[in-house]
Structures are given as structure tokens and as C-alpha cells.
Amino acid sequence: MTPIREYIRLLTEKQRRDQKAKRVLYHIGPRPAAPKPLSRPGEFGWRRYWLDQDIESGVFFSPNPFDIAQYHGVDGDVYAYKIPEWVIAKAGGIHRYDHGSEVLISADAWEEAGDEIEFLGKSMSQEALWDKIDS
């Protein structure tokens, strides 16, 4: 395939992706989402039953940040993102794990998506998150 044809094919594919649906998901942490490696001693990646292999570096999102904070012990501000459905599918979908629904997006999928993942901003502070959970 000539370089021009390949370029046109890539542009067309990107346009099709841009037109596809996106889902609002939330990331909890001290700062906006970015792929990170697992930092527990002796472990080298996140293991989830729905994934074929461990994820060495990734980022977690959830449709329900309250369950994640309450049952997963994750704390921080809540950031909202519009995540393309193809990225969610590539990550294995959204699954229930330990009382909360989550999707683990690998660093590779995160990089491939690039600016297709839309940062919507901080949706609530850490204090507001816990006030809502406590009420």
C-alpha cells in the first residue's frame, strides 16, 4: 500500500472512531488519570479474571466512583472523562470487581486512544465524595 493510501486509510479510521459513542467514566485519585504501574512490592501487574494477561501499567475508571471509594479503598478527587466505547472494549469491558464496577485501560490502549479520550474536568473533591458516601 502506498504511503498516501495508508495515510487516507488511517484518517478515515480515525473519523469513524470519532463518530462512535463515548461513555462518561470517573477516575479517583490525587490528580487526573494517567497510566501507572502497580506499586505493591513483589507484584508486577494488575490481574483481573476477564483479562488474558496482567496489565503492567494502566489506569482505572468506573461508572460509579462511590462504590470504588467505599469498597476498594481508593481515595482522592473524582475526575470525569468521556471514554470511547472501542477503548472500553479493547480493555475487556466494564466488570464488577470487589463491590464496584471498573475498567482497567492499559497504557498501550491509553496511548492509542490519545485525544479521543476527553477530559471533562474534576467532578468533585475528595471531601465532597466522602460527604456523599456518608449521607
Could you give the CA distance from residue 111 to residue 105 in angstroms, rounded to a whole number?
Answer: 10
* Per-residue pLDDT reduced to its tens digit, 10-57: 777 766 655 569 999 999 999 999 999 987 777 778 888 888 888 999
How high does pLDDT run on average in the chain? 87
* Per-residue pLDDT reduced to its tens digit, 47-103: 888 888 889 999 999 999 988 888 777 889 999 999 999 999 999 999 988 788 999
